[in-house]
Amino acid sequence: MICSLFLSSSLTKVLQVILTGSLKFFVAPFLAFNFNFSFIQIFITVAIGGILGVISFYILSEWLVEVFAKANPKIQFFIDKFRKKPRKPRKIFTKRNRLIVKTIKNYGLLGLVVLTPIFFTIPLGTFLTFRYFHHKENVLLYLSYSVIAWAFVLSGFVSFFNKGFS
């Protein structure tokens, strides 16, 4: 009974790190650090979470773009029918939007892939990668390589931090 309680507790911790890694990649190694995971445990759980996040959000992005493309004329017709005066949509430029546009213009797919796990978060970065570069081959593979590399770097940083203050 105690063993099953321990296994369920550690399984819950692993699943929490994996879920966090798929949504907020940068936070996941620090969460695993709080759970006293070793370097290998941090690396594996964060990498699995990131890769699962990339795959699931890539598929979701594909579905969203397809649904929006089909629904857009119907939605626009409904909006135009009840609008009194046509109005121009305002463009909102935030620091994050500027960073995204700069990255795509200056660095293309490579810049977006490298910065996705850390700066853009996996859901946003994967959606942008699909939106602008879905026609290129191996995009999922590049995103997965980036996740693995960042998982290794962050796991090493967190493990070094752990050894330095223990």
Q: Average pLDDT, stretch 111-118?
A: 89
Whole-Å CA distances, 44 to 76, 86, 95, 153: 46, 53, 33, 12
Contact 117, 125 (CB under 8 A): yes
**How many other CB atoms sit within 10 Å of the CB of residue 160?**
11
144-161, pLDDT tens digit by residue? Answer: 999 999 999 999 999 887
Amino acid at 151: A
Q: Which residue, 133, 103, 101, is CA-closest to 115?
A: 103
Q: Average pLDDT, stretch 126-148?
A: 91
Q: Average pLDDT, stretch 2-19?
A: 74
Structure token digits, residue 140: 């999922």
Q: Strand, coil or helix: what is 143?
A: helix
Higher pLDDT, 11 or 164: 11
Compute the Cα dihedral for 97, 98, 101, 106 and give only its sign.
Answer: negative
Q: For the chain, what percent of residues have pLDDT higher than 90?
A: 46
Q: Average pLDDT, stretch 113-128?
A: 90
Cα dihedral: 121, 116, 31, 159 (round 10): -160
Q: For the chain, what percent of residues have pLDDT higher than 70?
A: 80
End-to-end alpha carbon distance in the chain: 32
Rounded mean pLDDT of the chain? 83
With 80 as the cut, is the pLDDT of residue 165 above it? no
Rounded Cα gap, residues 61 and 74, in angstroms: 20
With 60 as the cut, is the pLDDT of residue 122 above it? yes
Instruction: Give the pLDDT score at 4.
Output: 45
52-106, pLDDT tens digit by residue? Answer: 999 999 999 988 888 777 766 666 666 666 666 666 666 777 887 888 888 888 8
Q: Average pLDDT, stretch 42-61?
A: 95
Rounded Cα gap, residues 129 and 140, in angstroms: 9
DSSP 8-state code for residue 116: I
Q: Which residue, 29, 7, 9, 8, is CA-closest to 18?
A: 29
- When pLDDT is cut at 50, 70 and 90, the band that residue 1 belongs to is very low
Instruction: Give the pLDDT score at 2.
Output: 43
Higher pLDDT, 44 or 10: 44
